[in-house]
Structure 1
């Protein structure tokens, strides 16, 4: 079959799905999405849109019948139906096998530890007594996590002392949810590395990005990261080892902690293009989204070289209201050299929702950083009437 004639199915029509489609369309691919929201960000550029919930197994099978390869823009989806489809011969990337492990943070960490990849110390939690034992093992504070479903800090609680145990257990639904405890890492920097694996096993690794979070939401990514050459090489090598451990196909993001001048620990792995990789659209020869499409259809992987220092900043919903999204400051932001704007097209804005991002390039990282932060002062998104 002519590779470019393959039809691609994407579970999810949010911003990541939209940016996948933008790259797929440059190469002429036909794309079908599945998303419960009619006017989701990817709707206007998809060839077909199956409007259905993400846990609708019948709809996912319908998607499979219409396409040649399935991918997804987030990992919190039912893996059993994907495994069933794969057994029947459908191509799904990243593979359901890698997705199943990554969905469970405890199993994810177990696999990484088994492969001798450095991770924070962790234990499984069955009851409140286990949380007390975690405090004895790690000291305070430490992190209590749901094994499944958390993102942007949701599903995590910092336990500062024995007096927090009961509340933390109940807040995370410990009687009904699987939990794990993890040592608190007093890191110096948060970094991430994008990596992609082709169907033939080829691996491409991107430059190291340095991330800044606020209230557990990514605010800024700077590339290249301001770390030593030794740490840069170590981070990229670890990302390569993670890809081999999961035997995944497609884009993965490996989030890491830098604890000192020599040590890096793996925080989490995401089996998809990632927020911290948006810089690659303008910053690299091959963006993470083009790379993902190349990988899942069986094309050669592209050059991951950094074109110039790049800074990405997320654009979050402002104010306190929920309503029709209104964008302000576009003209002023785009008057700044090297600035590019990405508005996702979400109909409603609410506080802290990811509504878009901007990138700035420059001759130096300092120049790119100054441009990005200046532009972010202008670009604001509010619910109508909420400014």
Structure 2
């Protein structure tokens, strides 16, 4: 296959297009705006909303297989195209149990993977649920079942007073309610599965979040080998159970009593895997293209002693390209800065990232260099 269609034209598709250059694979993107990041590198583009199935039908005429950059898609409408012979990878049946957070939790439970305790609350059941909620239930986490990302639609509720204040904002939305996990650390695994069922897993990483948005990723995570093997077993079981094809991001909690719980699954390349571009033999973006094109998977091995990835998040409303800050960050030894070319900044928006390769796995060294990047970016 030489042409891959991608539904979505943001930074994930942009980095996928960059990886495609080295593989001789062109991308055709379906995306709303000509200014979206991936358009500048894509071979072709269909300008339309992500869930515009008519546009996806046009996209299918320009490529051999269609992949996904995000989960904002209309599965029933796409199934009509699949029945007409359009090749989606991962297959739509893989996405069905994952796009709704309650369905995802239920699927994980069904296949025997450990998750936080959960339940669903509908607009019709809200009042009864609120009345029945005991003080022992708090703190708890509310999540919109669909279309939440980077912390949007996720609320950590400390007590009934906070819940009552929030109810007008959320009670009309189908919700996933789950127990709050006072975790020791947050971990992530990037794993890929081929058309023939081969699975490769990248080094397990530790992520640090702020306001439910990933801020730092440390590779590899400093956890014992037992936990590494447990996370790898979870990733393998998940991808095989789904019969998935492509790269998946798996977010996990390491609890204070040393248990692993699955938090969320992203059926695509993932922010916690950006370090792989410079730090691994095969980047997650090249790996995804290899998988969806039916080619043998690449080596996920870490090429360096360690790496830290820092997201460059918006901290103000502005149109600045932050050229001076980016120039200073790029001067840090072994720093690789990726700027997504977005024209507007707002608090929490991912504008770029920087990966710094390390000559030592020492966590303190990684923390120091991450702090140096952030002091330049956000100011001291």
Is this a same-fold pair by TM over 0.5? yes
- Call closer, same or farther: CA 1:196–1:134 in 2, change over 3 Å: farther
**Secondary structure of residue in 2 paired with 1:310:** strand
1:194 aligns with: 190
Q: Distance in 1 between matches of 2:26 and 2:358?
A: 35
1:286 aligns with: 282
Aligned length: 374
1:110 aligns with: 106
**Secondary structure of residue in 1 paired with 2:4:** strand
Q: Deviations over 1:330-357 (max 9, x none)?
A: 3332322211111111122222211100
Contact conserved, 2:51 with 2:72, CA < 8 A, in 1? no
Q: Are 2:151 and 1:143 aligned?
A: no
Counterpart pick for 2:325 among 315, 326, 329: 329
239-248 or 306-315: bigger deviation: 239-248
Root-mean-square deviation over aligned CA pairs: 1.9
1:376 CA displacement: 3.6
162-171 or 72-81: bigger deviation: 162-171
1:55 aligns with: 51
Contact conserved, 2:317 with 2:344, CA < 8 A, in 1? no
Counterpart pick for 1:249 among 211, 226, 245: 245
Q: TM-score, normalised by structure 2?
A: 0.93
Q: Distance in 1 between matches of 2:366 and 2:142?
A: 37
1:43 CA displacement: 1.2
Q: Distance in 2 between matches of 1:99 and 1:295?
A: 16
1:153 aligns with: 151
2:308 aligns with: 311
Contact conserved, 2:135 with 2:160, CA < 8 A, in 1? no
1:368 CA displacement: 4.1
Q: Distance in 1 between matches of 2:45 and 2:186?
A: 37
Q: Distance in 2 between matches of 1:171 and 1:372?
A: 36
**Residue segments in structure 1 that go unaligned for 5+ positions in a row:** 382-387
Contact conserved, 2:246 with 2:268, CA < 8 A, in 1? yes
239-248 or 11-20: bigger deviation: 239-248
Q: TM-score, normalised by structure 1?
A: 0.92
Q: Are 2:66 and 1:66 aligned?
A: no
Aligned ranges 1:22-171 → 2 under 5 Å = 22-126=18-122, 127-132=125-130, 135-136=133-134, 139-171=137-169
1:135 CA displacement: 3.3
Q: Distance in 2 between matches of 1:185 and 1:338?
A: 36
- Call closer, same or farther: CA 1:60–1:324 in 2, change over 3 Å: farther
Contact conserved, 2:248 with 2:265, CA < 8 A, in 1? yes
**Residue segments in structure 2 that go unaligned for 5+ positions in a row:** none
Contact conserved, 1:343 with 1:356, CA < 8 A, in 2? yes
